[in-house]
Structure 1
Amino acid sequence: MKMSTGDNNNANSEIIEPRSYTLEKGEELRFEVENESVQCQLIEGKAELFGTELRLEQKYTFQKGAKVAVFTFHGCKLKLYGSPEVEYVASETPMTIYLNLDNSLEGLRVTAIKEDKYGPNVLVAGPVDVGKTTFCRILLNYAVRHDRTPIYVDLDLGQGSLTLPGNISAVVIEKPADIEDSFHITAPIAFHYGHLTQSKNTSLYNIIMKALAEVVECKKTNEPSTKYSGTIVNTSGWVQGYGYQSILQAIEHFRIDIVLVLDQERLYSELVRDLKSKQAIKVLLIPKSGGVVSRSREFRAEMRDQKIRSYFYGTTTKPFYPYSFDIPFAQFTAYKIGSPNLPDSCMPIGMKSTDNSTKLIPVQPSSSSSSSILNHIFSISCSTTEQDIDKVITTNIYGFIAVTQVHMDRQVVTVLSPQPRPLPKNYIFIMSDVQFVDLE
């Protein structure tokens, strides 16, 4: 690798000249964006970002929080504009391993087409901050570059790469991810959960995970291209207790035949042990990228808020213009799913408390801070009040609104919505624990 810095003829100028990098075969330019945006430009050769090829001479802009790794299999020249917090070239990367893995998956897809059977169903597991979402992005991009249309399933509640945090979702991937904005998501299928961790309501999580798997299976049955292309399932970073059990449940629900464990031998050993009886399932230990770094709780919260904000307002390059309007209390049919179970000690002798984890609890607008719906995200369920209310939890959702104001005097709530009024009549709103403060 060679690096050179442009000459600055004006010593007092605040303009930062671009840095030029010459990457050899198998090297990777890594940088992290802290505050101001940073631009990267491919000048010569070939390079890719998480499996998506860069175009020559095009400047790509990366915003605050971005962690970037531009890799080349053949050698290239790059320019970097701006001041990233960290920038360096790495010669040791697992990208060759990832490419070989992709070639093996593609071989399984070719076999699936010849024998008219299902393509590989892959589940990616590992603790927090090992790069599971990025790894999934690489595998999906490589699959699309083979003209496949895999289904991407995101079971990670904390960040949400396909939809808002606090929900699980799936989508068919038809094009490589955009360099700056990841995948272009069209018509995802999403199910409401309402919390940022599975431990809040394990019964509900397993139910909606099974419901999502049934939808994915139906999609494969109706579309041979997705059937042969297979599935990539991303999981959360909680790998102990119920977190581990949820991985086993996902393996069963989505009919997983390949489990890829990132960077944790203990989890790998446990899965090998517990899946030993199912010889059709292969468990592989995969190294993580050296560019993966730990993220603080504050950073995670900030990225979550940014994800929600981009749902309503878009990004700098693709801005949205949401709508704000009032909904009368009488038309705001809202519920939350689950309520705390009474301890058996509070029940009459000989009786046990019932399981309320999937019970629908009506939510009424209130001025009380303890029961306020202010700033909460609400899912809009595809179920209506005219349908069986018990089917709400296993019904997918249309999208989301945020309650920005509650007017007790006028008996209305003000909501932020990506589409104008009126919202669909007789539809049900489901309250999430996830909150968003609209500062626009």
Structure 2
Amino acid sequence: MAAVPVQEFKLEPDNELRFETELKGDSVRLELRSGTAELFGCELVKGREYVFEKGAKAAVFTWDGATVELKGKPEAAYIAKETPMVIYLNTHAVLEQLRRKAEAEEGRGPIVMVVGPADVGKSTLCRMMLNWGVRMGRKPLFVDLDVGQGNISIPGTIGAVMVERPAMPGDGYNLNAPLVYHYGHISPEKNLELLKIVTSKLASFVLQKFETNKRVAHSGMIINTCGWVKGDGYKLLTHAASAFEVDLIVVLDQERLYNELIRDMPNFVKVVFQPKSGGAVERNRQFRISTRESKVRQYFYGPKNTLFPQNVQVNFDDIKVFKIGAPKVSAALLPEGMMPDENSMTRIVPVSPGPDLLHHIMAMSYAESTEEDLLTTNVLGFVCVLNVDTEKQKLTLLSPHPAPLPRNIFLISDVQYMEI
């Protein structure tokens, strides 16, 4: 057996070790040997090995100097001496001042939205600010509006979760009772009307959370957004800023977006421009596809394959499947005098179980009957259609929950997953 390559890096104060693992390669192990260092705001424990699976991108930063060791063969690994970490930490310091003021005045902590084009490090900055806040004893809310990525749940959803402990490398956020809404597409432009509706519903719910939990209210909220910042994408950003009653918008890397928001936001919303980290690199299409597949797999099997989902069989007649949105019909194709349905993209359309469902993810709605508003009801969880038996009229579902399933109303998603 070939020896595992080992590299040692000595980091000076305010230096950062950036490394990437190969998309189709082996995992890489990181160990802090001496000094102090953190990864995306999470303090590393000396002597502990942290595992980074294929396709991972990481940056280990030290304020005071450290020695770290990489075991394995990363695709790239280098030390960066110029980083925006001081700027980011200053932002955290301002947020902490606002939290202390909120405590003193029994008010609401800062509500921050991070925006910018794709691949500028929005999710990473959100993670750092959340981790730093938790290390100060806070319990901030994290809201993820990036439907293509799925930081809280799977791609094709938006959601919110209270962050009570730092997001450890490789483990992600402690997803204890997240609030998740179905959208069903990985692109926000697929159904703008639906995305605005569920964004407003999510905002209404989390703002109510502030009224019932003072500690969460004092801690505030960090909101991650997608990288579509032009045209309708910009309208989605301004809609979210209004719905969540945002106090501060952090714009990464794009001065045009910064100036547009300065122009359009109310005076009480502060807009700041910050540089992206040099470690934020462009992700190609294959990497995005692989990441989405990994997110879905982690939902069913856990980050380290520690979960054991069930194969559950259900009869066609025992479940109700719907999709949201129907194709818009041109006025030229309609009978004379009829107008196109302006609400077609938010219409609830029944779907008969059949071969077309194969490999699709379906969201299990919290709704107990179809009399409830399926658009704005959050979801209980997800299943994947493994097999469709039209002869026996049965579906085989991959499910985190054993039979019988707690609900029978499902919303079909464009997101698909195939067992390997």
TM-score if structure 2 supplies the norm length? Answer: 0.97
Question: What residue in structure 2 maps to residue 27 of structure 1?
Answer: 15
TM-superposed deviation, 1:341? 1.6
**Structure 2 residue corresponding to 1:379, chosen from 363, 385, 389:** 363
Q: Deviations over 1:27-53 (max 9, x none)?
A: 001110001111111111100000000
Answering whether residue 292 of structure 2 is matched by residue 307 of structure 1, we say: no
CA distance in 2 between counterparts of 1:379 and 1:351 reads 34
Q: Which residue of 2 aligns with 1:85?
A: 75
Counterpart in the other structure of 2:395: 413
1:388 aligns with 2:376: no
Letter in 2 for 1:344: A
State the match for 2:316 in structure 1.
329
Distance (Å, rounded) in 1 between the aligned partners of 2:65 and 2:410? 52
Q: Which residue of 2 aligns with 1:58?
A: 48
Q: Kindly provide the amino acid, as one letter, of the partner of residue 405 in structure 1.
A: N
The CA deviation at 1:438 is 1.5
CA distance in 2, matches of 1:303, 1:59: 23
Confirm whether residue 190 of structure 1 aligns to residue 174 of structure 2.
Answer: no
Asked if 1:399 is matched to 2:389, the reply is no
SS for the counterpart of 1:248 is: helix
Q: Helix, strand or coil for the counterpart of 1:335?
A: strand
* Alignment partner, residue 414 of structure 2: 433
Structure 2 contact 320–409 (Cα < 8 Å) conserved: yes
Give runs of ≥4 in structure 1 deviating > 3 Å. none
The answer to whether structure 1 residue 76 and structure 2 residue 59 are counterparts is no
Which whole-Å deviations, capped at 9, do the CAs of 1:163-193 have from their partners, x for residues lacking one?
A: 0100100000010111222212110000001
**Which aligned pairs between 1:42-53 and structure 2 lie closer than 5 A?**
42-53=32-43
1:153 to 109, 130, 143: 143
Q: What is the aligned counterpart of 1:239 among 226, 229, 233?
A: 229
Secondary structure of the 1:129 match is coil
Structure 2 counterpart SS, 1:295 = coil
Paired residue type of 2:376:
T
Q: Distance in 2 between matches of 1:203 and 1:171?
A: 24
Deviation at 1:124, TM superposition (A): 0.4
Aligned partner of 1:364 in structure 2 is 352
Which is worse superposed, 354-363 or 153-162? 354-363
Match runs of 1:226-265 below 5 Å: 226-265=216-255
Q: Which residue of 2 aligns with 1:5?
A: none
Q: Please list, as runs of the form range in 1=range in 2, the aligned pairs for 1:84-103 lying within 5 A after superposition.
A: 84-103=74-93
Q: 1:284 aligns with which of 272, 287, 310?
A: 272
- In 2, the alpha carbon distance for the partners of 1:248 and 1:315 equals 34
Q: Which moved more, 1:177-186 or 1:71-80?
A: 177-186
Q: Does 1:339 align with 2:329?
A: no
Cα distance between partner residues in 2 of 1:416 and 1:113: 45
Deviations, residues 394-414 of structure 1 (Å, cap 9, x unaligned): 110000000011001111011
Tell me how far apart the structure 2 counterparts of residues 347 and 246 of structure 1 sit (CA, whole Å): 31
Q: Distance in 2 between matches of 1:434 and 1:362?
A: 18
What is the rounded CA distance, in whole Å, between the counterparts of 1:32 and 1:348 in structure 2? 58
What is residue 125 of structure 1 aligned with on the other side?
115
CA distance in 1, matches of 2:344, 2:169: 44
1:353 deviates by: 1.2
How far has the Cα of 1:17 moved from its partner?
4.2
What CA distance in whole angstroms lies between the structure 1 residues aligned with 2:312 and 2:406?
14
| 1:248 Cα deviation after fit | 0.1
Output the amino acid matched with 2:338.
Answer: M
Unaligned runs of 5+ in 2: none
* Structure 1: stretches of 5+ with no match in the other structure: 1-12
CA deviation vs aligned residue, 1:246-296 (integer Å, no higher than 9, x gap): 000000000001000011111111111111xx1110101111110111111
Q: Which amino acid aligns with 1:291?
A: G
2:260 pairs with 1:270: yes
- The answer to whether the 8 Å contact 2:170/2:303 transfers is no
CA RMSD of aligned residues (A): 1.1
Q: Work out the CA distance in 2 between the residues paired with 1:255 and 1:327.
A: 43
How many residues in Structure 1 have an aligned counterpart in Structure 2? 417
Deviation by residue 1:76-108 (Cα, 9 ceiling, x = unmatched): 111111110000000001111111110011001
- The amino acid that maps onto 2:358 is L
Partner of 2:101: 111
User: Residue type of the partner of 1:400?
Assistant: F
1:138-217 equivalences in 2 (<5 Å): 138-217=128-207
Q: Return the alpha-carbon distance in structure 2 between the equivalents of residues 345 and 309 of structure 1.
A: 44
- 1:123-143 residue CA offsets vs partner (Å, 9 max, x unmatched): 000001111111100000011
Between 1:351-360 and 1:239-248, the stretch displaced more is 351-360
1:295 has 2:283 as partner: yes
Residue 422 of structure 1 aligns with which residue?
404
